[in-house]
Amino acid sequence: MHSSPPGPDDIGGAPSAVPEPQAPSFSAMPAARPAGVLAPRNLAVAGAIAVGLLGWQTWSLHREIDLVQRELARRVDDAGGQSSAAAQSARQSADLVADLSAKLSLIEARVGESQAQQQALEQLYQELARNRDDIQLAEIEQVLATAAQQLELAGNVQAALVALQTVDARLAQGDRPQFLAVRRAVARDIERLKALPATDVTGLAFKLDQAIASVDDLPTLAEVRPADKSAAEPPKPNADYWTQLAERVANEARDLFRIRQVSQPDALLLTPSQSYFARENLKLRLLNARLRLLARNEAGYRADLAVGSALLHGYFDDRARPVLALASTLRQLQAAEVSIDLPNLNESLNAVRNYRPSAPVTAPAPRAEAGKR
């Protein structure tokens, strides 16, 4: 409800007569309204504006919510795709980890085997290092013993000298100060062997082999035939027939009787089979002399050569050139020096056998095994 505005009389405070009510006229509106009273039109406009603003805000809010929902849905989809990719990558990583674990187990097993083999090799190396001196001395002792046997039984000076020089070269190659005493003993034995007079046993044995091979061609006394004088001395070309005839008759007369001094008369009566045994007997004597030569048995060697020379002069024609050559060879063999005073190798052997290492080499403790996975 609206109250009527105060009149001019109310302002002064004096009451006035109340006029009669008149019908309101819309044509005669007051020119101004009070400040606290709003016109309905303005209210409608303000309400419409407020409603529009509220609708616009609601529409804008719904739009933002829709955009947020769409963005959220898109991000959820992206997160789902990323989650699938992460799951697949996780599965691949798990497979790779399982494969690597299997390979690591295999590698650890191989490493354990390698460490066990390495420990075995280290122990073997330590044993070899500890026994190296003993092994080398055992080999040197064996070589020296063989050389001493060759020197004592066969008198092979060259073989013994080569063995000693080989031992000295091995000791020099090792350059071990503890082997100095052994090297000195070996050097003294080498000097003693080098100072021995040279005896060509091999050359003498070769000459005996040639003499044995030439026995089969030697003529015996029973096989001697008179020489053909007609072939040796042809008739003179200027001599007449009677002179030539006289010379032939004289030659025949000289061949009818032959006088020869023979040490063994029964040699002239040897049959072909007996001649064979005579040759074989001479061969056996020469072969026995060869064996005595290699054994350094000078007395037996010279005795066999003397018997061979006697057989040669007793049963073979000493006027034939092969017999003369063989007799000369036997004289040279008898004059050759065979036996010499050979030294022994006891000094070197005793030096090797009496050697004692200063301190044994101890093998270090084996390393601990690798820890288990």
| Each residue's pLDDT tens digit, 28-41 | 444 445 544 456 77
- Can you give the pLDDT at residue 295? 78
Mean of pLDDT over the chain: 75
Q: What backbone phi and psi angles, to 5 degrees, belong to 360?
A: -70, 145
Residue at 157 is within a domain: no
pLDDT class of 26 with cuts at 50, 70, 90: very low
Could you read off the pLDDT of 184-241 as tens digits, one per residue?
888 888 888 888 776 777 788 889 999 999 888 888 776 655 554 444 455 555 557 7
pLDDT class of 243 with cuts at 50, 70, 90: confident
- Can you give the pLDDT at residue 55? 85
Residue at 320 is within a domain: yes
Beta bridge partners of 220: 316
- Can you give the pLDDT at residue 284? 93
Residue at 39 is within a domain: no
Residue at 276 is within a domain: yes
Q: Considering only CA atoms, which of 304, 279, 337, 314 is closest in space to residue 208?
A: 304
- Can you give the pLDDT at residue 11? 41
Show the domain range for 292.
199-218+265-341
Residue at 150 is within a domain: no
Beta bridge partners of 316: 220
User: What is the Cα–Cα distance from 54 to 43, expressed in whole angstroms?
Assistant: 16
Note the Cα 16 to chain centre separation in Å.
149
Tally the domains of the chain: 1
Mean pLDDT of 124-149: 79
More confident residue, 21 or 307: 307
Residue at 214 is within a domain: yes
Residue at 274 is within a domain: yes
Helices (H), 263-345: 272-294, 298-315, 321-335
Residue at 106 is within a domain: no
Could you read off the pLDDT of 260-306 as tens digits, one per residue?
555 555 655 566 677 788 888 899 999 999 998 887 788 888 899 99
pTM of the predicted protein model: 0.42
Could you read off the pLDDT of 55-90 as tens digits, one per residue?
888 888 888 898 888 888 888 888 888 888 888 888
